[in-house]
Amino acid sequence: MRATLILENGVVFHGESIGLPGERVCEIVFNTSMTGYQEILTDPSYAGQGIVMSYPLIGNYGVNHEDNESLHPWAEALIVRHLAARGSNFRCEAPLDAYLKEHGIVGIQGVDTRALTRILRNQGTMNGMITCAENFSVQEKLETIRAFRVSGTVERATCRQAECYPAVGAQLRRVALMDYGVKHNMINCLRERGCEVTVFPAHTSAQTVLERGFDGVMLSNGPGDPADNTEIINEVLKLYRSELPVFAVCLGHQLMALATGAQTERLQYGHRGGNHPVRDIAEQRVFITSQNHGYVVKGETVDPSIAEISHVNVNDGTVEGLRYLKGNVFTVQFHPEASPGPRDTEYLFDRFVAMMGGER
């Protein structure tokens, strides 16, 4: 079936429908990862977005239930150069196209994803529409595309009630994890280090957490503009003012910065992929990181009496981490839990456990 991708700037790409035939409007972003498409689709940080995979062959090892990073995919659409008709891997349970159909994800293949990625890099992330309609007016579609806004994504992605996950092996510490759109492997990285993890909905009050006697708090990744979450930011400030160790990742990192007086800004096209170099200033080392974000903390707005920049992006110099001077609080923009991506920075979970008094 024929499919068409229309970008907000009026550029049109033609291709073949994959996944669920239909029409979908979303924010179009690109990811440079060569593998890990299933983890990417099930990352809640992609809520409201259509993903362009810059690698030309996607789906060649199929999908399986073990690689999901949440209960279901969150991406609205998938755009690829070529979709493998079947998966060739001993863990494969179904082809990617069947998975897309099962979960209602609209897609298109046969698109020049190299040209599309260059447009998004040069002109910035923009809205787009995939449609299987045969006869339509591009101008009329553009009105719908340009009116679209991604909103309310944290409320959609967060859990509905608290849930406890036991430690793997001997329990060393108890951690409260604020779910703004958490990935399963973030929970697993804590459990493997002897932490019992209680996952709380995003709008849980700080008082509720502080009254439960946890040894530390983790603020998760998540989708959307961090500045939209004003109520959550107020609760994060209360956690910052407590004596509990706090480790925050991605959206959690941005929320902590906003709570302490810094500002965030939107990147032109974001950082999404598994090969982003980040320098740990204290360690004087560069690590290859997994990333997925469209916003960053503005370095010049960070009060030096409150926090210092601990990590920077080697490619563009943007802030990738903050170490707070008051209390045991540190945050990073990248994903130390990876999935998909390199596991070079999992040492940060060890640092968090050590801050709580556990073993490294």
Q: Which of 253, 271, 311, 335 is catalytic?
A: 335
Q: What are phi and psi of 109, to 5 degrees?
A: -125, 170
> What sign does the dihedral 77-83-85-86 (CA atoms) show?
negative
Q: Which of 8, 27, 250, 320 is catalytic?
A: 250
Q: Which of 8, 27, 320, 337 is catalytic?
A: 337
Q: Establish whether 26 is a catalytic residue.
A: no
Q: Establish whether 250 is a catalytic residue.
A: yes
Q: What is the 3-state secondary structure (H, E, C) of the chain?
A: CEEEEEECCCCEEEEEEEECCCEEEEEEEEECCCCCHHHHHCCHHHCCEEEEECCCEECCCCECHHHCCCCCCCCCEEECCEECCCCCCCCCCECHHHHHHHCCCEEEECCCHHHHHHHHHHHCCEEEEEECCCCCCHHHHHHHHHHCCCCCHHHHHCCCCCEEECCCCCCCEEEEEEECCCCHHHHHHHHCCCEEEEEEECCCCHHHHHCCCCCEEEECCCCCCHHHCHHHHHHHHHHHHCCCCEEEECHHHHHHHHHCCCCEEEEEEEEEEEEEEEEECCCCEEEEEEEEEEEEECHHHCCCCCEEEEEEECCCCCEEEEEECCCCEEEECCECCCCCCCCCCCHHHHHHHHHCCCCC
Residues involved in catalysis = 250, 335, 337
